[in-house]
Every structure is written in C-alpha cells, then in structure tokens.
Amino acid sequence: MNIILESKELVRYYGTHLAVDRVSFEVRCGEIFAFLGPNGAGKTTTVRMLTGFFTPSSGTGLINGHDIVREPTEARRHIGVVPEEANVYVDLSVWRNVMLMAELHGIDKRTRTERGQELLEAFDLYDRKEHEGRSLSKGLKQRLMLCMALVSGPDLLFLDEPTSGLDVKSARLIRDTIVRMNKEENMTVFLTTHNIAEAEQICDRVAIIDEGRIAAIDTPDALRSVVASRRSVEVTFSDGDYQSLSPEGFQGVEELKPLSQGFKLYSATPGRLAQQVAASALEKGLEVQNIRTLEPSLEDVFVHITSGKNKRSENHE
Ligand code: ATP
C-alpha cells in the first residue's frame, strides 16, 4: 500500500504550551483521512506543520517521500491546501483568483482555463465568475478556496474544517464534490473536523486527536466496535404508563436515557433486550409506537475516548 503522507513524531510548542505532542500517523494513497478532535486539540497546528506554514519544534513529515523540513518545496509541489479561514484576493474576480493560483503552479493556459471552468461549475460558482472576492459570502468564499486549491490537480488535498459554519447547501456541495474527486481522480484527502457525522459519512479512516495526542486511528467501523457496549435499543410508546415497565430492570441494561415518549437502553445485547421490552409491553397492554436497535455512533467512540478515560496520565509513560 502506497503511503502519500507520513507524520513522524511531530511536536509543536507555542512558548511553553505543548500544542502537538509526538503525533505520528500515515495516510494511504487514495483515501479520505479525517483528523477528528475537539476545539484546541491540535488539528490546525498539525496541518500547518505538514503544509509548511509552521516549522515543527521537533519531528518531521514526508509527503510523497519528501521531507517537509529538509525538502519543503518538493514536499509541497503536489499538494492543495484549504486553510480554516478563507483568504481569497478580495480585489480580484472569482475567475482571476483561480487563474492566479494556476499560474503560480505553472499550469499552461489551456489546461488552467479548462480546469478552472470545470471547477467553477462543479462548485456552482460559474455564474459569479466576474464577481469580486469581497462580494462573496462565507460559503461561496470557501467554495472558491477549494477551486483555487484544486486547479493545480493536487495528489493530496488538505482541508482544515472545510464545512465549519457553512449553510447546509454549501456544506453538502463541498462534501459531495470532494468525494467525487477522490473517487474519479484518486485524489487523497486529509481533512480536519470536529463534525463527527462528516467524518463518519465520508472518511475511510479517522484519527482521533485529543490534547495534542493521537488517541486512536482506525476505520469508523472498527472504532465503533471499540465501544460495542454502547449498542442500544430505542423504544417509544403511543400512550400509557410506560414507566410501569421498569425498564432499568431488564436483563443486560447498562444505562437508561429517558426520551420524550419512551427511553433508550444501552446494552451489549440489544436484540435480546428489544424482544424483552416488546413482550413486556404486550403483557401490560402498552402500544409500542417505534422500537429499534442502534449500533454505536462515532460520537459514542469520540465521547468515550475524549471523556477522560484515556487521558495521558492514565495511558502513557
Ligand atoms: P479548533 O478546532 O478550535 O480549530 P484545533 O484542534 O485546530 O482547534 P489548534 O488551533 O491547533 O487546535 O490549537 C492547539 C492548541 O494550541 C490550543 O490549546 C490553542 O489554544 C493553542 N494555540 C494555537 N495557536 C496558537 C498561537 N498562535 N499561540 C499560542 N497558542 C496557540
């Protein structure tokens, strides 16, 4: 399996504050890899080191085999970067912003014109190609940033919180287009996010970062299996005294969460538990409105990992 990006024990201090603490991971060619973590976890700092905006305090990284510290120009040659804050040229038109970026990458006129047009169409910006950067909303600026990062046809695209604070339409368009380019052009994507649903939906593998350290790396499915006991049964009732079922007393219940017309029961054996609940409800003449078993979500994994159980004092050294 080809490795396109490797982080090797990256460390970054701000003064005496340790923001990134020996972060190591590998990203394989063609995958969508997410860096998921709470605010302040060290995601942006890691991306800035890997993309050459910050020098690491120690450690290094490789992009396409080139060392980001010793060979920064080669390492950056085939990457595209969309930073957390959109920084388009506000005096230039949408079209000129994209063309300027292509020219900086030495893309010939015919290719940049074709690719620029394709990208503006894909991101629904073509009608605004003559609009100045300053006239764009946050969502439109973010889409323009993507066009600027993609016009050079990068092998590896870095996206820092690509959909944070955007409206649903812009967020979906960005997500769908990234996935399409990943599939059609085999472009590897490295994205940072604190949006768990986004990581779950589009990523092949996820690294969870917490307080500057990697807490877990795996596929969303494998991470979910870490917290198998967070399987659950959700049941709601049409009416009646459903509390009389005393749900906490059912076999295998590990935790109960009340819902507006029912409850959610956490259990490692949700199928068996659902049968017990249904049988008991029938016996008491209660009408079940909805009953379903749920697998743990990535959110459950995330809460489990970042809730203190795996903090460094207990887990390391
Ligand atoms: P967010 O999701 O909020 O963007 P993040 O995971 O990207 O957070 P970073 O921005 O990398 O986290 O910040 C990591 C830590 O470093 C935080 O504690 C933050 O306060 C601190 N930090 C970030 N930038 C600086 C800076 N320029 N000077 C001092 N400390 C900083």
Q: Using a 6 Å cutoff on CB, does residue 19 contact ligand 1? A: yes
Query: Looking at ligand 1, which residue's alpha carbon is closest to its atom 8?
Result: 40
Other C-beta atoms within 10 Å of 306: how many? 20
> What residue numbers bound the domain in which 210 lies?
3-224
Residues 60 and 171 in one domain: yes
Q: Are 161 and 12 in contact (CB under 8 A)?
A: no
Query: Looking at ligand 1, which residue's alpha carbon is closest to its atom 17?
Result: 40
Type and span of the H or E element at 79 = strand 79-82
At 227, the pLDDT band (50, 70, 90 cuts) reads: confident
306 belongs to a structural domain: no
Q: Are 161 and 138 in contact (CB under 8 A)?
A: no
Which of 162-166, 232-236, 299-303 shows the highest mean pLDDT? 232-236
Q: What CA–CA distance (Å, rounded) separates 62 from 108?
A: 28
What is the distance in A from the centroid of ligand 1 to the CA of 190?
Answer: 18
Residues 207 and 236 in one domain: no
Where residue 209 sits, what CATH number does that domain have? 3.40.50.300
For the CA of 41, the closest atom of ligand 1 is 6
The stretches of 106-205 forming alpha helices (DSSP H) are 109-122, 138-150, 168-185, 196-202
Residues 189 and 262 in one domain: no
Residues 277 and 186 in one domain: no
pTM over 0.85: no
pLDDT > 90: what percent of the chain? 70
Q: What is the pLDDT of residues 91-144, one digit of tens each?
A: 999 999 999 999 999 999 999 999 999 999 999 999 999 999 999 998 899 999
At 273, the pLDDT band (50, 70, 90 cuts) reads: very high
Q: Are 45 and 98 in contact (CB under 8 A)?
A: no
55 belongs to a structural domain: yes
Residues 178 and 95 in one domain: yes
> To test the ligand 1 pocket, which listed residue (14, 47, 82, 195) has its Cβ within 8 A of the most ligand atoms?
14
User: For position 297, what pLDDT does the model report?
Assistant: 82
> To test the ligand 1 pocket, which listed residue (12, 36, 43, 57) has its Cβ within 8 A of the most ligand atoms?
43
